[in-house]
Amino acid sequence: MPTPTCETTGSAARHFPRRISLPTLAKAAQKCRGCSLYCHATHVVFGEGSRTAKLLLVGEQPGDQEDRAGQPFVGPSGRLLDETLLAAGIERSTVYVTNAVKHFKWKPSPTGKRRLHSKPNWTEIAACRPWLLEELKLVAPPLLMTLGATAAQSLLGKSFKLTQHRHEFLIPELPVHLPSPPLLLATVHPSSLLRMPDKAARDAARKEFLKDFQLVAKKLASL
């Protein structure tokens, strides 16, 4: 719940700069009060990467380390993502990496010593979506990958079920008009793999995750 000093405006769009570009948006996002998540985070974490990237990756929200660094995917999930990109032969320079929600949502651990990830709710996802849609318009990539349910649902709607579309390229109806509509492949979030306690299940899930990146690599090579 927002505290009395934590005022919100209801939408990231209320904080857009007059002149829209990736750097001006990234700067404006630092002052975003679209939802209450800015009140308890250290940094806003805007997307990063090439403006002409052929592949845009959308995660859920920054984690503890991303919040401290102000950069996306620099913690444990980021390391797994980097390993997987490398294994699939995808150059990091061909990728733009961002998140559905730009501030870290967390709750204190039972001992109060650590900040534990807390899933963003629909209000927060919707409030933050305007940043993501502008990134999509400006980068306009031919390929789009969503990591996990939050990213997929932010772009494809609440009823999207990843299990029904595994390893599939979709032609999504995005909530934004792009001159050439991208293909979208929805995959799982790397943190879901890191959390699996059973080694055999984790190895199998990693294989499926890598398969998605290999499919994307093949598509990138055919562009």
Nearer to ligand SF4, 127 or 133 (CB): 127
Report the C-alpha gap between 128 and 154 in whole angstroms: 9
Report the C-alpha gap between 20 and 66 in whole angstroms: 24
Report the C-alpha gap between 198 and 204 in whole angstroms: 10
Please state the closest distance from residue 105 (CB atom) to ligand URA, in A. Answer: 11
Contacts of 200 (CB under 8 A, 6+ apart): none
| Site stretch for ligand SF4 (CB under 6 A), options 85-93, 121-129, 160-168, 179-187 | 121-129
Nearer to ligand URA, 60 or 135 (CB): 60
In the 8-state DSSP scheme, what is residue 216?
H
Q: Show the DSSP H helices in the chain as ranges.
A: 22-29, 64-69, 76-88, 122-139, 149-156, 190-194, 199-221
- When asked if residue 59 is in the footprint of ligand URA (CB under 6 A), the reply is yes
- When asked if residue 60 is in the footprint of ligand URA (CB under 6 A), the reply is yes
* Amino acid code (one letter) for 149: A
- When asked if residue 104 is in the footprint of ligand SF4 (CB under 6 A), the reply is no
In the 8-state DSSP scheme, what is residue 181?
P
Nearest residue to ligand URA by CB is 59
57, 128, 136, 151: residue in contact with ligand SF4 (rule CB under 6 A): 128
Q: Which does 77 bind (CB under 5 to 8 A by kind): ligand URA, ligand SF4, none?
A: ligand URA
Beta strands at 106-108 and 95-99: parallel, antiparallel or unpaired: unpaired
In the numeric block, which tokens belong to residue 169?
A: 């390229």
- When asked if residue 44 is in the footprint of ligand SF4 (CB under 6 A), the reply is yes
Q: Which residues in the 72-131 window bind ligand URA by CB under 6 A?
A: 72-73, 75, 77-78, 99
One symbol per residue from 143 to 172: x for binding ligand SF4 (CB under 6 A), - otherwise; what is it? ------------------------------
- When asked if residue 32 is in the footprint of ligand SF4 (CB under 6 A), the reply is yes
Q: Is 176 helix (H, G, I), strand (E, B) or coil?
A: coil
